[in-house]
Amino acid sequence: MANKFLHRIKNRYASKWLVLVFDVVVVMFTFLLAYLIRFNFKVDFNLVLVLKQLPLVALVSLVSFLLVKSHHGVVRYTGFRDLVNIIIGTNILATILILVTYANRKFDLHEILNLSGSVIYIHLMLNILFLVGAKFFIKSLYRSLISDFRPHSKVLIYGAGNSGIMTYDAIQSDTKSTLETIGFIDDHPNKIGKKINLLTVYSLDQIDQDFVDKHELSEVIISIQNIDPGRLLSITTQLFPYRVKVKIVPPVQNWIDGDLSVQQIKDIKIEDLLGRKPIDIRNPVLEEEYDNQVILVTGAAGSIGSEIARKLTNFRYKKLLLLDSAESPLYDLEQEFKRQEIDRFEPIVADVRDQERMSFIFEKYNPKIIFHAAAYKHVPLMENSPYEAVRVNVNGTSIVADLAVKHGTNKFVLVSTDKAVNPTNVMGATKRIAELYVTCLKGNGRTKFITTRFGNVLGSNGSVIPLFKKQIEKGGPITVTHPDITRYFMTISEASQLVLEAASMGSGGEIFVFDMGKSVKILELAKNMIFLSGLRYPEDIDIIITGLRPGEKIYEELLADGENTTSTYHDKIMIAKTKPIDRDVVVKKIMNLGSVKSTNQNLEIVSWIKDIIPEYISNNSMYEVLDDTKN
């Protein structure tokens, strides 16, 4: 019954004409009250004359409100602009009454038009007070009535500055909101203990379990513009143990039409807790780079490849070729592009290991820019399958790279990984060989070979984020291989931006690396994901240490031994200066490795890999015996 009543209230709105009549009645009432105030609440005035003046006041107020359309606003959503309309309307009313009074005194028109100037000004003040007060009273009454029928969350707003106050106003003005602000949090010592809108400003240190329980606190909304990511991580880490949900207000430039709405306040995402600012690349040269070009993306159905393809759709390319051997995800990408009405793209089911098939594709389409993202990347799987790692990561790269040279491709961009740096596993070592191969092709023909090297990508297929999410959904535990293991992270968007930028700025032979900030401890990442899920560690979800997997490092690196960097025009992108190599010797060894047969034993294949990559020292792997032999 109550729900039906609530539903009726929520879906019924007062007619604008009813609102207009209400406003006019208020104006008539305040006119009588103004006379009473003027004469100290004694009827020492001509009451009959005042009653005769009421129709005039009603008519003028009607005209004034129609002019400003103050009755068009929905009362339950009354806001600042409605307030301004009421003030303008009442001032128009007062101005007309003053002009009428002036005209009457000058030309002695009629006694009804003889109004008191002091009464008009008192009437103006009363109109503003009563009309605004009535609208906000009805709004508050509606909000209270609605909130009585539904649960509401008690929140603190972190930030007692302009952004925090605007967030408070947005919450208060949204009648559909279930949030109830109980105070502010601020770091400034001069604000702590003060009150804003009758709400206390607390320090973060005051928020403990007793505070949360006493005030039934359920959420903290961080409303600090341009907050330092490290500070955001510190705040959320301090609040998570109390099972308080943390949300964040978007930057002011993302507010819709300059106004903040409650719907724009979002949950903290795991990428917000990387402890560094997102890397932003804006380069107008990119438009010219990809204009009217045939572009090929290999591994286009993968996490990085598909995001590169999505970003490329923003340019005026001639044709976009999406190549992958995984037909189902490639089909999904095709359907996504069709839904978005993207044209001039073509999905191609093909394997980069198939030289004849790849040669046909190059002859048919003649791509001028290639993003080579096709690769096997799962460390444990490749540790047990070095033959497949060589076939895809080495042979697949060499086939596509050689065809790029043969067909006069302008640029070839290799998507590599930080696991190629001082590799400890087969996957990383084969990716390092791919880097070496394209480096050796520098100067062969017109093709410029460029390598991008970056760390783990948040949310990519097989990364720890989706794994942890699945483990949390199943009730845990989360598995972490080592308590001290760390990784560099970036978002898929950041990684794809780097690849596109590298294609533009590269002149051939470079390895581009990111300044990715501090590496993230995987154990802390797991704890943060538990907290972000609204759960508690270890009470709800436990974390168990399983031990390092074969070939796994505790710490990843972005530069190999003997490498250093030079800067570029972007402060977050650097060029790795690699050690000189004997190209002829390296290419010959890679060619020999490329002829490996499936019948070759794993130890034999890995020994050839180690011969090409001397810095490849196996870790927690069966191939450590080869390092012992080498030493």
Q: Label residue 21 by pLDDT band (50, 70, 90).
A: confident
- Indicate whether 214 belongs to any domain: yes
**Alpha-carbon 83 to chain mean position:** 34
The pLDDT assigned to 1 comes to 46
- Indicate whether 280 belongs to any domain: no
Give yes or no: 419 in active site. yes
Candidate list 139, 191, 377, 419, residue with the active-site label: 419
Please identify, among 209, 237, 268, the residue that sits at the C-terminal boundary of a domain: 268
What is the full DSSP assignment across 119-140?
A: HHHHHHHHHHHHHHHHHHHHHH
Q: How far apart are CA 139 and CA 574, in angstroms?
A: 56
**Among 75-84, 104-113, 229-238, 592-601, which is the least confidently predicted range?**
75-84
Q: How far apart are CA 128 and CA 125, in angstroms?
A: 5
> What string of H, E and C letters represents the secondary structure of 171-206?
HHHCCCCCEEEEEEECCCCCCCCCEECCEEEECHHH
pLDDT tens-digit profile of 25-55?
A: 888 898 888 888 888 888 878 888 888 888 8
- Are residue 252 and residue 294 in the same domain, yes or no? no
Regarding predicted confidence, which is higher, 227 or 314? 314
3 state SS of 539: coil
The pLDDT assigned to 433 comes to 97
- Are residue 549 and residue 589 in the same domain, yes or no? yes
3-state DSSP helix/strand/coil % of the chain, to nearest 5: 50, 15, 35
Confirm if 150 and 178 have CB atoms less than 8 A apart: yes
Q: Which domain holds residue 177?
A: 153-268
pLDDT tens-digit profile of 524-583?
A: 888 888 877 777 788 888 999 998 888 777 776 655 555 566 666 666 677 877 778 888
The pLDDT assigned to 339 comes to 92
For the segment 190-195, the average pLDDT, to the nearest whole number, is 91
- Are residue 117 and residue 167 in the same domain, yes or no? no
- Indicate whether 630 belongs to any domain: no
For the segment 383-408, the average pLDDT, to the nearest whole number, is 96
- Are residue 503 and residue 404 in the same domain, yes or no? yes
Q: Is the pLDDT of residue 436 over 80?
A: yes
Q: Is the pLDDT of residue 253 over 70?
A: no
The pLDDT assigned to 396 comes to 97
- Indicate whether 223 belongs to any domain: yes
Regarding predicted confidence, which is higher, 59 or 148? 59
The pLDDT assigned to 449 comes to 94
**pTM assigned to the model:** 0.65
pLDDT tens-digit profile of 288-297?
A: 888 899 999 9
Q: How far are the Cα atoms of 283, 316, 386, 504 from residue 289, in angstroms, in the given order? A: 10, 10, 37, 6
The pLDDT assigned to 89 comes to 82
- Are residue 495 and residue 541 in the same domain, yes or no? yes
Q: Is the pLDDT of residue 147 over 60?
A: no
> What string of H, E and C letters represents the secondary structure of 374-412?
CCCCCHHHHHHCHHHHHHHHHHHHHHHHHHHHHCCCCEE
For residue 214, count other CB atoms closer than 10 A to its CB.
Answer: 9
Q: How far are the Cα atoms of 371, 424, 455, 462, 486 from residue 415, in angstroms, in the given order? A: 7, 19, 11, 17, 22
- Are residue 327 and residue 429 in the same domain, yes or no? yes
> What percent of the chain has pLDDT above 70?
83
- Indicate whether 80 belongs to any domain: yes
- Are residue 165 and residue 38 in the same domain, yes or no? no
Q: Is the pLDDT of residue 77 over 70?
A: no
Q: Which residues contact 408 (CB under 8 A, 6 or more apart)?
A: 445, 446, 447
Highest mean pLDDT among 231-235, 353-357, 454-458, 478-482: 353-357
Q: Which residues contact 186 (CB under 8 A, 6 or more apart)?
A: 158, 159, 160, 161, 164, 192, 201, 202, 203
Please identify, among 114, 147, 180, the residue that sits at the C-terminal boundary of a domain: 147
Q: Is the pLDDT of residue 5 over 50?
A: no
Highest mean pLDDT among 119-133, 145-159, 459-473, 493-507: 119-133
**Among 153-167, 204-218, 378-392, 499-513, which is the least confidently predicted range?**
499-513
Q: Is the pLDDT of residue 605 over 90?
A: yes
Q: Residue 337: which CATH number?
A: 3.40.50.720
Q: CA quadruple 41, 47, 51, 57: dihedral positive or negative?
A: negative
- Are residue 537 and residue 567 in the same domain, yes or no? yes
Counting the structural domains of the chain, the total is 3
For the segment 398-409, the average pLDDT, to the nearest whole number, is 96
- Are residue 136 and residue 232 in the same domain, yes or no? no
Regarding predicted confidence, which is higher, 492 or 368? 368
For the segment 609-619, the average pLDDT, to the nearest whole number, is 93
Please identify, among 147, 166, 183, the residue that sits at the C-terminal boundary of a domain: 147
For residue 35, count other CB atoms closer than 10 A to its CB.
Answer: 23
Please give the torsion angle defined by the CA atoms of residues 80, 84, 89 and 92, in that order, rounded to the nearest 10 degrees: 170
- pLDDT, mean over the chain: 83
For the segment 53-59, the average pLDDT, to the nearest whole number, is 85
Q: CA quadruple 181, 182, 188, 193: dihedral positive or negative?
A: positive
- Indicate whether 334 belongs to any domain: yes
Q: Is the pLDDT of residue 2 over 50?
A: no
**Among 322-326, 397-401, 596-600, 609-613, which is the least confidently predicted range?**
596-600
For the segment 170-176, the average pLDDT, to the nearest whole number, is 73
- Are residue 364 and residue 506 in the same domain, yes or no? yes
The pLDDT assigned to 496 comes to 84
Q: CA quadruple 613, 617, 622, 626: dihedral positive or negative?
A: positive
For the segment 364-387, the average pLDDT, to the nearest whole number, is 94
Regarding predicted confidence, which is higher, 334 or 563? 334
- Indicate whether 622 belongs to any domain: no
- Are residue 135 and residue 177 in the same domain, yes or no? no
Q: CA quadruple 50, 52, 53, 59: dihedral positive or negative?
A: positive
The pLDDT assigned to 275 comes to 59
Q: How far are the Cα atoms of 159, 200, 223, 286, 508 from residue 196, in angstroms, in the given order? A: 11, 7, 15, 48, 59
Q: CA quadruple 612, 617, 622, 625: dihedral positive or negative?
A: positive
Q: Label residue 271 by pLDDT band (50, 70, 90).
A: low
Confirm if 374 and 392 have CB atoms less than 8 A apart: yes
Q: Is the pLDDT of residue 151 over 60?
A: no
- Are residue 255 and residue 157 in the same domain, yes or no? yes
The pLDDT assigned to 108 comes to 74
Q: How far apart are CA 321 and CA 348, in angstroms?
A: 7
- Indicate whether 628 belongs to any domain: no
The pLDDT assigned to 259 comes to 62
For 96, the token pair is 């007309």
